[in-house]
Amino acid sequence: MVLYQKNGVEFYYKHILKKGLKNIYLKIEKSGEVLLKSSPYMKIEAEKFLDKKSYWVDKTLHKIEESNHKINVYEDGGEIYYLGKSYPLKYEKNRIRGEKILFDDNRFVFLYGGKKDCKKAIEDFYKKEAKRIYIEKTAYFSQRLKLYPKDIKFRKAKRRLGSCSFDNVLSFNYLGVKLTQKEIDYIVVHELSHIKEKNHSKRFWDIVKKEFSDYKEIRRGITLDL
């Protein structure tokens, strides 16, 4: 292993020299091992290439290290996201049947009697809160925009935060309660706007813009990794 140490960046890497290679290859394994491959004749060029990629390597290694130390969010001591903030999760054994989640504005407490199905308890909390929050916000913005959905439904999705059907039924991802209040407001307005404009035309964005002139900035801040 060779120590790379330049411009405040430091990491170990392995330079594999193999005859017949026509290109330079740089790979970072899940274990954090940095592999640089080239032919012996391109050794100097490969090291210059590594110089160009050194900050990327350093950043990637930090991400791998953070990932390896990250605790399961549903374990005792994990972090639960709610309305744009993270809160500590504390397990407490109780003489109850089933499981229950308590939230006191500072932390989440998971009360359990027998089995520990914290993930289900948290998701049940998200479902309950999503129905309360999204229904209230939809009623508020419906009045402002004069756009009224036929119905509101909730489901779990990894990559979609909301949708509007052709018959104006709104569907919201209940995991969206992890987002900030303003981001949720935007999602509601976005889907309500589809009642009038089904595609993302200029007319559609003009409706959204009535409520959020900074909608582009809000969109950039929303993560789909829920």
Q: Which domains does the chain have, with CATH numbers?
A: 2-69 (no CATH), 79-122 (no CATH), 129-221 (3.30.2010.10)
Residue 13 is predicted with a pLDDT of 92
Is pTM beyond 0.85? Reply is no
Residue 222 is predicted with a pLDDT of 82
Residue 18 is predicted with a pLDDT of 93
Q: Spell out the residues 6+ positions from residue 200 whose beta carbon is closer than 8 angstroms to its own.
A: none
Residue 154 is predicted with a pLDDT of 95
Class of residue 78 by CB neighbours under 10 A (exposed 0-12, middle 13-18, buried 19+):
buried
Class of residue 174 by CB neighbours under 10 A (exposed 0-12, middle 13-18, buried 19+):
buried
Q: Name the β-bridge partners of 162.
A: 172
Residue 184 is predicted with a pLDDT of 96
Residue 62 is predicted with a pLDDT of 84
Report CA dihedral (172, 178, 184, 188) to the nearest 10 degrees.
0
Each residue's pLDDT expressed in tens, for the chain with a length of 226 residues: 788 988 788 898 999 999 999 999 999 988 889 999 999 999 999 999 999 999 999 999 888 877 665 556 788 888 899 999 989 999 988 776 667 888 988 899 998 876 678 888 899 999 999 999 999 999 999 999 999 999 999 998 877 899 999 999 999 999 999 999 999 999 999 999 999 999 889 999 999 999 999 999 998 888 765 5
